Amino acid sequence: MSHLKAASSSPSSAPLRSLTELSEEEQLFQSSIRRFAAEVIAPLVRQMDDEQKYAPGLIHKMAELGLMGIEVPDELGGAGGSFFDSILAVEAISAVDASVALVVDIQNTLCVNSLRRWGSAAQQLQWLPRMAAGMICSYALSEAGSGSDAFAMETRAQRTEHGYRLNGRKLWISNAREAGVFLVFANLNPEAGYRGITAFLIDAGTPGLTVGRKEDKMGIRASSTCEVLFEDCHVPAENLFGEEGKGYKIAIEVLNEGRIGIGAQMLGLAQGAWNHAARYAQQRKQFGKPIAEFQAVQFTLAEMATEIEAARLMVYNAARRKDAGLPFVTEAAMTKYFVSQVAERVASQCVEIFGGNGYVRDYPAEKFYRDAKIGKIYEGTSNMQLATIAKQLLSHPVSLQDR
């Protein structure tokens, strides 16, 4: 497989002068993805948004580049990169299209990450090469009555002679329509509450698993968001993921990492919106000169850029801490909370700089604005991030400066 040369799994072989300064390998990795996004993804953005699906062949092209298995080891057909590499990829693609970035994000920060940490050797051998080659993995946790309260789930698993039987309904499952495999959470022992939650790997073609209605969303429309139904869905014993009753632990830990991925998505989106706003401000003329020469527009662009740089520091810091084995739960929650706010503000200001053109679909500003809103909702709402931050800080009374 021809793929990107991912950067070293260590943050850098030489001291970095700042969190946002990249090593030479990281710069090459980032520039390759930016070039791919500009040349391959950008011409397809409007079509994919209108048709609400990924362009044919796009996932295959991303797999050839190594983007569908960034942390999958070389020997299993992946790019052999780091978590930070995944973050760089999500950021770079999001500057062009947050919908396409989402499939890269979920594939790597949630699914590949989960398989590498909790999957058996046989499961890793079975699924990781296929995922690196372009098979999409979908993460099926949420339900109609189980959103922020993720463990109030009603999907049930029962032991059978040869494995398990699942019944229930998942909702708001990203990339469900395109998925070849699902990482599914169900309660095997409801009397035990969240300690009964168990995870399973389920092939999309398994009888009893049905991908249902696709949501008609405001933003990130190319990425499918569907309900997934389980009706006497038989799961072989070898598809148990991790241990019985440990699904809650898997979900909590991987979502902490996934929040950094959403931070990277929102960071890239904000940067893309700023890039378009800055270019437009230098082209659009009023009163005989480009609007970029007016102080009010300059100040707006300066404020946007300042917030983006602060957001980048938070995303990179959280990702580097994760790769270094340092505590990062608080940083991940802060990152998702803050960067999603920045993305929404920057996208809104982008629309205003475009003026009337920002409100019509002929220009890119309105799509950035539509795509930004989800950042404050999925993989933990802003209120849930605030609750996590407060809990972490109050239960560990140490100043952030000492972390």
- Please state the rounded mean pLDDT for residues 328-340: 98
What gap in Å lies between CA 222 and CA 55, rounded to an integer? 9
What gap in Å lies between CA 131 and CA 133, rounded to an integer? 5
Active site residues: 379
- The pLDDT of residue 239 is 98
- The pLDDT of residue 16 is 55
- The pLDDT of residue 35 is 98
Which is nearest to 104 in space by CA: 95, 75, 15?
95
What gap in Å lies between CA 371 and CA 96, rounded to an integer? 11
CA distances from 139 to 41, 79, 84, 171, 180 (A): 24, 21, 21, 11, 11
Contact call for residues 109 and 83 (beta carbons, < 8 A):
yes
- The pLDDT of residue 227 is 97
- Please state the rounded mean pLDDT for residues 256-282: 98
pLDDT tens figures, 184-231: 999 999 999 999 999 999 999 999 999 999 999 999 999 999 999 999
Contacts of 91 (CB under 8 A, 6+ apart): 101, 264, 265, 267, 268, 271, 315
SS3 content of the chain, % helix, strand, coil (to 5): 55, 15, 30
What gap in Å lies between CA 224 and CA 54, rounded to an integer? 9
The pair of three-digit structure tokens given for residue 281, joined into one six-digit string: 């401000």
- The pLDDT of residue 77 is 96
Most distant CA atoms of the chain, gap in Å: 79
pLDDT tens figures, 351-365: 999 999 999 999 999
pLDDT tens figures, 282-304: 999 999 999 999 999 999 999 99
DSSP state, residue 150: T
Split at pLDDT 50, 70, 90, the class of 399 is low
Selected residue with higher pLDDT from 161 and 1: 161
Q: Structural domains in the chain?
A: 24-134 (1.10.540.10), 139-245 (2.40.110.10), 248-402 (1.20.140.10)
The pair of three-digit structure tokens given for residue 195, joined into one six-digit string: 């300690």
% of residues, the chain, pLDDT over 70: 94
Contact call for residues 179 and 136 (beta carbons, < 8 A):
yes
Contacts of 380 (CB under 8 A, 6+ apart): 148, 255, 259, 333, 336, 388
The pair of three-digit structure tokens given for residue 203, joined into one six-digit string: 């092939």
pLDDT tens figures, 368-393: 999 999 999 999 999 999 999 999 99
Residue 176 pLDDT greater than 50, yes or no: yes
Strand, coil or helix: 78: coil
* Main-chain phi, psi angles of 96, to 5 degrees: -105, -45
pLDDT tens figures, 110-144: 999 999 999 999 999 999 999 999 999 999 999 99
pLDDT tens figures, 233-255: 999 999 999 999 999 999 999 99
Average pLDDT score, the chain: 94
pLDDT tens figures, 7-35: 654 444 455 567 888 999 999 999 999 99
What gap in Å lies between CA 86 and CA 65, rounded to an integer? 13
- The pLDDT of residue 11 is 47
Split at pLDDT 50, 70, 90, the class of 145 is confident
Split at pLDDT 50, 70, 90, the class of 396 is confident
- Please state the rounded mean pLDDT for residues 334-355: 98
